[in-house]
Amino acid sequence: MADGKTKKVGIMGGTFDPIHVGHLILGEAAWRQFHLDEVWFLPAGNPPHKKNRAGRATDEQRVDMVQLAIQSNPHFVLSLIEMNPDGYSYTYRTLERLHSQYPDISWYFIMGADSLTDFDTWREPQRITDACQVVVATRNQMDDGEFQTLLEQRKSEFNHNFLRLDTPNLDISSAHLREMIRTEESIRYYTPDNVLQYIIKNRIYK
């Protein structure tokens, strides 16, 4: 590899409450488009005041669901580096830790366009772009021109390349799935069957 790194790894961070096909499709699309070796899924820990809220999964359940969802994919990996038991983890810190732990890996941070919209409010965004390539997928029916403009805007603000992930608009969110489960609508095919079974068995999101 030109930068002397020997491996390329994608990072899919999120609360995954629950994980759904949108997350999985983004990971797979990034793996394919950028010739990644692996994609790591990093469920984020909840801070104490957000733990064990009614209608939400516990940290442990979210980790279990990610594990179930990715287990059939040999290049998807679960990482607990953001499962910080006492609160939020900051992306820049995670990336800097990963950098020093794995100096041979170049990192591709994968996000939806909603995250790029509020990227400048994230803690230390410049340190994030210093540490990785940022890969962005469209979301929420964002108009193509608007998406392109946002990518260009971030490029000039951070003097960094923001890469566009080539995916269709995937109209799905964890919030919508939680609402569907609460109102007893079927979420079959919105998440893998084994995750669906886990949600039913553990009566999550009721």
154: buried, middle or exposed (CB in 10 Å: 19+, 13-18, 0-12)? buried
Tell me the residue type at 69: A
Instruction: List the x/- string, 19-48, binding to ligand ATP by CB under 6 A.
Output: ---xx--x----------------------
Check whether the bond before 18 is cis (ω within 30° of 0).
yes
To ligand ATP, the closest distance from the beta carbon of 136 in angstroms equals: 9
Three-state DSSP class for residue 49: helix
User: End-to-end distance of the chain based on CA atoms, in angstroms?
Assistant: 49
Q: Which of residues 83-122 bind ligand ATP (CB under 6 A)?
A: 111-112, 114-115
Per CB under 6 A, does 56 bind ligand ATP? no
Tell me the residue type at 60: E
Which stretch, 81-89, 171-179, 188-196, 197-205, contacts ligand ATP (CB under 6 A)? Answer: 171-179
Three-state DSSP class for residue 109: strand
Q: Which of residues 173-202 bind ligand ATP (CB under 6 A)?
A: 173-175
Q: Order of strands, edge to edge, in the sheet holding 38-43?
A: 76-78, 38-43, 7-14, 105-112, 133-137, 162-164
Per CB under 6 A, does 139 bind ligand ATP? yes
Encoded tokens for 44: 């984020």
Per CB under 6 A, does 154 bind ligand ATP? no
* Binding residue for ligand ATP, selected from 172, 179, 194, 202, defined by CB under 6 A: 172
To ligand ATP, the closest distance from the beta carbon of 50 in angstroms equals: 12
Per CB under 6 A, does 61 bind ligand ATP? no
Closest to 138 (Cα-Cα) out of 149, 147, 151, 129: 147
Per CB under 6 A, does 2 bind ligand ATP? no
Where do contacts with ligand ATP occur on this chain (CB under 6 A)?
14-17, 22-23, 26, 111-112, 114-115, 137, 139, 170, 172-175
